[in-house]
Structure 1
Amino acid sequence: MRSIIYLGIGIFFGIVLFKSEAASWFRIYEMFQFGSFHMYGIIGSAVGLGILITQVIKRFKIKSFYGDPITFAPKDRSFKRYMFGGILFGLGWALAGACPGPMFALLGAGYVPILIVLISSILGTLLYGVVKNKLPH
């Protein structure tokens, strides 16, 4: 039953991404050219909601779907790691015209060429998993 709920949430998320044009290559190009506030508004709304929801989870000790407490692990605050990762993410986003969420929405909308980007991102994630322990901290 939970899998059906997760599937429904994922489909709803994909529809929202597509209808809000967050999966539009033109909107992403426009954002990287600083030609429109559209994508910055979507991203800013997502960051604001994320902060708000995280605070609600922490303050009211909300549990997961499975009834387990939700914990937040401390993060490494290394500037170099976040800067390098952000640059790689941004370059990939600019070259592909989509970040990870919209890739699935574009595939669901029938844009078959996104499969190349999706498969490449999965292979890149697997490669990172193989070499991450060998990278300097």
Structure 2
Amino acid sequence: MKNIKFLIAGILFGIILSKTQVVSWYRIYEMFKFQSFHMYGVIGSAVLIGIVIIQLFKKGIIKDYLGNQINVKDKKKGFIRTLVGGSIFGLGWALSGACPGPMYVLIGQGALSVIIVLFGAMIGAFIYGVLSKKLPN
């Protein structure tokens, strides 16, 4: 029962993704064909909110859920790995019509074929975990 707040946050997140049509295959298709600003607006808003929240964590204004200060480290810079990782992510998103968050929402909505996509994402994450130490920095 002490983690009920995380369940509630997840349910609210799923409702928001569903109501804003972020889980809609048609909206994703429109985005990749540059026919609509909808998804770019949602993604841009998420990036801006993320930037603000990270800055608040760095300054110590907000803390984690236990009240502890979080030490946010700068990420390693790397053009090639960002290009390769982003391309693999984008290709998977374009082929499946779903990125990681909406996969769970789609399964919850009854689109059980997305379980195959979720399984593929888990395999990809597992492979990355195995190979990550061997990849160049």
Counterpart residue identity of residue 14, structure 2: G
TM-score by length of 2: 0.95
Q: Kindly provide the CA deviation profile for residues 4-56 of structure 1, in whole angstroms up to 9, marking residues without a partner as x.
A: 10011011001100110000000000000000000001001111111112222
Give the Cα separation in 1 of the matches to 2:87 and 2:2: 36
Counterpart residue number, 1:126: 126
Task: Flag structure 2 segments of 5+ consecutive residues without an equivalent.
Answer: none
Give the structure 2 partner of residue 42 of structure 1.
42
Match runs of 1:98-117 below 5 Å: 98-117=98-117
Name which of structure 1's ranges 124-133 and 61-70 shifts more when overlaid on structure 2: 61-70
Kept in 1: contact 2:57–2:72 (CA 8 A): no
Name the SS for the 2:122 alignment partner.
helix
* Higher fraction of helix: 1
Which amino acid counterpart does residue 87 of structure 1 have in structure 2?
Answer: S
Report the CA distance between 1:67 and its aligned residue.
2.1
Matched-pair contact (CA < 8 Å) for 1:61–1:70: no
Structure 1: runs of 5 or more not aligned: none
Equivalent residue for 2:77? 77
TM-score (norm 1): 0.95
Number of matched residues?
137
CA RMSD of aligned residues (A): 1.1
